[in-house]
Amino acid sequence: MNGITIGTLARSAGVGVETVRYYQRRGLLPESAGRKGAFRVYGDAELARLRSIRRAQTLGFSLDEIADLLALDHERDRENARALARSKIASVEERIRQLEDVRSALQELVDCCGHTEAPAPCPILRALGGEPRESESDSNPASTRPTLRKQPASTARAG
Amino acid sequence: MNGITIGTLARSAGVGVETVRYYQRRGLLPESAGRKGAFRVYGDAELARLRSIRRAQTLGFSLDEIADLLALDHERDRENARALARSKIASVEERIRQLEDVRSALQELVDCCGHTEAPAPCPILRALGGEPRESESDSNPASTRPTLRKQPASTARAG
DNA sequence: CTAGACTCTGTACTCAAGTACGGAGTCAAC
DNA sequence: GTTGACTCCGTACTTGAGTACAGAGTCTAG
């Protein structure tokens, strides 16, 4: 698998040729020094890296984050690398917590939909909104809803 | 908080006016029937809905998914609503599992970085790639690489 | 030697989720 | 009765992660 051209590399990693080039433009993948005639050739290193990128992506990392992660690999500064990795762990854990919250909100919804057939109980709005609001059509403020902490304004745009 | 105009509504939910309008265009938020003179006015219902949208977003739902979720609220067809909610739960759980994987991969990385100071052990590539590769500049083709399964082309694009 | 597959380079397009902006109209306060 | 903030409506731009395509060059098999 050494000395392959871009098409084979792409196919081996299950991506398109354009995607490989895109990663190269973004600096995630080296452009490959070696050439066989006019065509660039790649090897196991590039294939491995390409697969790593895809895997990291499926795990929810942005390409910028992946660039950071891959850079750790070349970091001589282990201290720094550890710190970066730890902060990634923290953000991953935060995300997990949030998802667990929504899971239980949804579960509640399913449960409550399950045992009532009344016309308007169990609003998703409440499950998602979390905050006990009196109005709407609700005059009972004594809800058991766990107060949810303020969400940061910069939502899905993790820098 | 009833009878507010769009600017106040937006500010109360921590979003921009343009975002409110965008949600209206997308049909996530009603355009508000009431008018006070030339300006549309909104109330608690809209504010609650807007907040729900934002919260759902921070939890990783796309606007399309949120539209589905909010629609459940108006569904008379509880059966269908439950099914939809359950499928969301499944996808949320899948996402959680993936994130837990990456967390332990990162943790391993931190640990291994922690107790060695050697120049090139513990490559992130391996942690991310998962597959144990022997080397980068490797001339040994007898690798344990399992024939690679096709990566779903639609990675982060959870439809 | 030629057909067909592949590569190279560059630009342009897509899609989601907004954000920005321009030119009007309107409202409330002074 | 005018100023200044706000609203309305429409269109255009942005960012992230690609995808598509055009027009050239190149490689390989027959």
The verdict on a CB contact (< 8 Å) between A125 and B70 is yes
pLDDT at B114 over 70: no
The nucleotide closest to A31 (CA, C1' atoms): C8
Per CATH, the number for A6-61 is: 1.10.1660.10
pLDDT at B5 over 70: yes
Residues of A in contact with B57 (CB under 8 A): 155-156
* pLDDT recorded at residue B88: 78
pLDDT at B121 over 80: no
Quick check: B18 CB within 7 A of strand C? yes
Domain ranges of chain B: 6-61, 78-155
Burial of A108 (0-12, 13-18, 19+ CB in 10 A): middle
Neighbours of B118 (CB within 10 A): 7
pLDDT at A125 over 70: no
* pLDDT recorded at residue A80: 74
